[in-house]
Structure 1
Amino acid sequence: MPQGLMLTDLAIAGFLLLIAKILRVHLPLLQRMYLPSAVLAGLIGLLLGPALANFLPWTNTFTANAGILTAALFSSLGLATDLPSPRIVAKRAGSLWAFNQIASVSQWLFAAMFGLFITTCFWPALNPAIGVTLSAGFMGGHGSATVVGDILTGLGWEDGFTLGLTFATIGIFVSISVGMLILQFALRMGWIDTFTTFASMDKHQRKGLIKPSEQPSVMKDTMSSLSVDSFAIHAALVVLVTAFSFVSANYLSSFSENVQIPTFVTGFLAGMFVRIIAKRTNANLYLCDEAFNHAAGISTDYLIIFGISAIKITVLAHYLLPMVILATGGIIFTLWLILWVAPRMLGKDWFEKGLFTWGWLTGTVAMGIALLRIVDPNMRSKVLDDYVIAYVPGSITDIFIISLMPIAMYNGMHWQAVGVGLSYIAIVLFVWRFVLNRNAWVNQQENT
């Protein structure tokens, strides 16, 4: 069990977040960049932290906070996630599930092999696992980057932690900036009629605020305050599952020196197990999913702050050119997925679904939602509804690839990883072509 979050670190991170939000509200330049407050806070923390000015009094263990918050994030997601039946997945979101699987797995394979190529041909002294830090940062954001960084650190390559966090930070900027260029291109191609420009947004949308008259409740009270505060019980579940994730991951990893079980795996699965028990006992009637979702949101924001603040500038200087080449290749490959593969797989509303996928393939799900709201402010396409259904079965694949790909690339099992990945993509393509498409045709005939 690692050291807990120190009050000093939380206070500094909270102060940075408040400053960042104030700047985001009052500076139009930051608003036009659609820059999340947590990213801005992290950049301030990096500037004033030990890597540069060394002004902020972070504790000596503040870099470990990202790992704790990652476990809390996935534990919260597990507590809020239902496992949909295969029939519902196939009927509602089959094509989106198939595309997401192909996009995520192929991005990991491309990044891994592209990294292997440039290290073999140009920088043989660099670690051949450098490619997975790109996909970890781009696809999974700071959470996955922290997981992969911890795995690579445990294997003996500490620089992988900084590289993954840096790619995650770059990915957020790429997600929005290139996403807006994609929107302009789509408008010229006639794929969309219009989109919500910055000029057409009201002052609340520009500042990242919600009108007082439209502000929803954070959660519902499910327990009497005479007994216990509702949020206290929800917080207790998140904390307990997060603690269990560390204990169980350490225990499972103790059986072999070559296997390291990430805490996000045990946290997510434990959260889902607790949710199943709650549903079987009807305890779920007194639990609020919004509370768990907000716990995941809080963990994500603070994770981003600690993750960016922990980046080591001296490490980046050593890897600068390979990182630029990797990032450029990753952007081009992901654009190909969105602009060529997506229209051939997603059918109706392919652009909205593809643009949302671009957001989380380069940044985070929040970036995908931000882009989706620009092109589809009324959520007519139901992309988020379909994504939620497709997310759970897809997340199982993510767990395996995030856990095993860094180990495979670090230990030289390159072609084994490629073989498994390509085989999985072939299976998904077969299911999409001969099962999901057939079910979609049957459903269409029934509706007519």
Structure 2
Amino acid sequence: MPKGLMLTDLAIAGCLLIIAKILRVHVPLLQKMYIPSAVLAGILGLVLGPAVANWLPWTPTFTANAGLLTAALFSALGLATDIPSPKVVAQRAGSLWAFNQIASVSQWLFASMFGLLLVTFVWPTLNPAIGVTLSAGFMGGHGSATVVGDILTNSGWEDGFTLGLTFATVGIFLSISIGMLILQLALKLGWIRSFTTFASMDEYQRKGLIKPSEQQTVMKDTMSSLSVDSFAVHAALIVAVTAFSYISSNYLSSFHDKVQVPTFVTGFLIGMLVRLIAKRTKASHYLCDGAFHHAAGISTDYLIIFGISAIKITILAQYLAPMIILAIGGIVFTLWLVLWVAPRILGDDWFEKGLFSWGWLTGTVAMGIALLRIIDPKMRSKVLDDYAIAYVPGSITDIFIISLMPIAMYNGYQWHALGIGLAYIICVLLIWRFVFNRSYALSKSSS
């Protein structure tokens, strides 16, 4: 089991988050940069923490908090995730599923092979797994970066933890800054007619606030307070699933010394199992998905704060040149995915889906949503609905690649990983071409 979150660490992170939100509300420059409050809080934690000023009294184990929060995040997501039928996936979100699979797997393969190329011909002293830190940070954000960092640390390369978190932080800035440039290009090429600029946003949108008249209830009461508070039961489920994720992860990892099953995998699967049992027993009538989603959001924000605060500046100085080259390569490759591959696979509303995909391929799903709202504020394109449908079957692949790619690259199975990854991409292309395209055509003709 992990070392638990200390009250001191939570208090520090909470204060940093409040300060960051106040700055975000009152500093126009931060608003124009679309910096999430959690990222700003993490930067404050980094500057004021042991890496720079060393003013904050973090506990000696505060860097372990990110791993625990990642397990809690995926446990909450599992508790809120239904498995869609193959028919629904094929008719509603087949093309988006196919693009997501091709984009995510190819990004991991590109980053891994590009990193291996740099190690082979330029910096032979670097670890051959350096490339996976780029894809872990870009595609999965701080959650995947923490998972991959833990795997690499347990394998014997501690620097990978810091590199992954750094790429995740840089990716958030790139997702918004380059995303805005993509919007300008789309406007000039006629892909879109207009988009919501910062100047046209109202005061609440700029500050990241919700107008009082438009605020909604976080969750519904499903149990009588005479018996128990509803949120207490939801929190208990998340804590229990998170605890079992560690127990099952340790048990499954004990069968082989080179096989590590990350806690986010077991947490997500156990969460889905609990949800399935709740549906079969009708207990789901007394559970609220909104509570699980907000719990996942809380875990994400605090995960970002602890993740950025745990970055070691001295390690970054040693890897600065290869990190810059890796980042440039990752940006170019992801732009190719979004601007060349996306229009050939996604069909209708390809730009909206591609722009959203740029956000999560370089930052997080939240960054993708932020960009999507700029171009489609009323969500007419239904991109998020399609993404929710495609998420579950796509997440299974993500689980495998995040878990196994770092191990393969670190232990010399690079070409095996490349072969399996390319074979999977070919299979996805065949499914998209001969199954999903026909299902989509039939659904359009019948409507």
Give the TM-score, by structure 1 length.
1.00
Shift of 1:256: 0.9
1:295 paired with 2:295, answer: yes
Alignment partner, residue 385 of structure 2: 385
Alignment partner, residue 222 of structure 1: 222
Distance in 1 (alpha carbons) for counterparts of 2:284 and 2:440: 33
Unaligned runs of 5+ in 2: none
Distance in 2 (alpha carbons) for counterparts of 1:22 and 1:445: 52
SS in 1 for 2:128: coil
Alignment partner, residue 191 of structure 1: 191
1:129 paired with 2:129, answer: yes
Counterpart of 2:116, as a letter, is: L
Alignment partner, residue 248 of structure 1: 248
SS in 1 for 2:403: helix
Distance in 1 (alpha carbons) for counterparts of 2:431 and 2:192: 30
Q: Deviations over 1:83-120 (max 9, x none)?
A: 00101000100000000000000000000000000011
Shift of 1:345: 0.5
SS in 2 for 1:30: helix
Alignment partner, residue 152 of structure 2: 152
Q: Deviations over 1:102-152 (max 9, x none)?
A: 000000000000000001100000001000000000000000000000000
1:200 paired with 2:200, answer: yes
Aligned length: 447
Q: Deviations over 1:186-245 (max 9, x none)?
A: 000000000000000000000000000100100000000000000000000000000110
Q: Deviations over 1:284-330 (max 9, x none)?
A: 00000000000000000000000000000000000000000000000
Alignment partner, residue 94 of structure 2: 94
Distance in 1 (alpha carbons) for counterparts of 2:89 and 2:440: 11
Distance in 2 (alpha carbons) for counterparts of 1:233 and 1:144: 28
1:355 paired with 2:365, answer: no
Counterpart of 2:287, as a letter, is: L
Q: Deviations over 1:56-95 (max 9, x none)?
A: 0000000000000000000000000000010100010000
1:309 paired with 2:299, answer: no
Unaligned runs of 5+ in 1: none
Q: Deviations over 1:12-60 (max 9, x none)?
A: 0000000000000000000000000000000000000000000000000
Alignment partner, residue 414 of structure 1: 414
Distance in 2 (alpha carbons) for counterparts of 1:294 and 1:443: 34
Shift of 1:441: 1.6
Alignment partner, residue 370 of structure 2: 370
1:182 paired with 2:195, answer: no
Distance in 1 (alpha carbons) for counterparts of 2:444 and 2:12: 55
Give the TM-score, by structure 2 length.
1.00
Alignment partner, residue 168 of structure 2: 168
Distance in 1 (alpha carbons) for counterparts of 2:210 and 2:444: 39
Distance in 2 (alpha carbons) for counterparts of 1:260 and 1:62: 23
Alignment partner, residue 434 of structure 1: 434
Distance in 2 (alpha carbons) for counterparts of 1:192 and 1:141: 28
Structure 1 segment 103-114 matched on structure 2, within 5 A: 103-114=103-114
Shift of 1:3: 1.0
Alignment partner, residue 42 of structure 2: 42
Shift of 1:446: 1.8
Distance in 2 (alpha carbons) for counterparts of 1:125 and 1:445: 58
Alignment partner, residue 276 of structure 1: 276
Shift of 1:346: 0.5
Shift of 1:10: 0.2
Counterpart of 1:261, as a letter, is: V
Distance in 1 (alpha carbons) for counterparts of 2:258 and 2:214: 52
Shift of 1:444: 2.1
Alignment partner, residue 139 of structure 1: 139
Counterpart of 2:142, as a letter, is: H
Shift of 1:272: 0.1
Distance in 2 (alpha carbons) for counterparts of 1:441 and 1:203: 43
SS in 1 for 2:199: helix
SS in 2 for 1:191: coil
Alignment partner, residue 83 of structure 2: 83
Counterpart of 2:288, as a letter, is: C
Distance in 2 (alpha carbons) for counterparts of 1:123 and 1:141: 26
Alignment partner, residue 120 of structure 1: 120
Distance in 1 (alpha carbons) for counterparts of 2:216 and 2:332: 39
Distance in 2 (alpha carbons) for counterparts of 1:341 and 1:107: 13
Distance in 1 (alpha carbons) for counterparts of 2:266 and 2:20: 33
Q: Deviations over 1:145-185 (max 9, x none)?
A: 00000000000000000000000000000000000000000
Alignment partner, residue 341 of structure 1: 341
Distance in 1 (alpha carbons) for counterparts of 2:443 and 2:106: 30
Shift of 1:273: 0.2
SS in 2 for 1:198: coil
Alignment partner, residue 2 of structure 1: 2
Shift of 1:445: 2.1
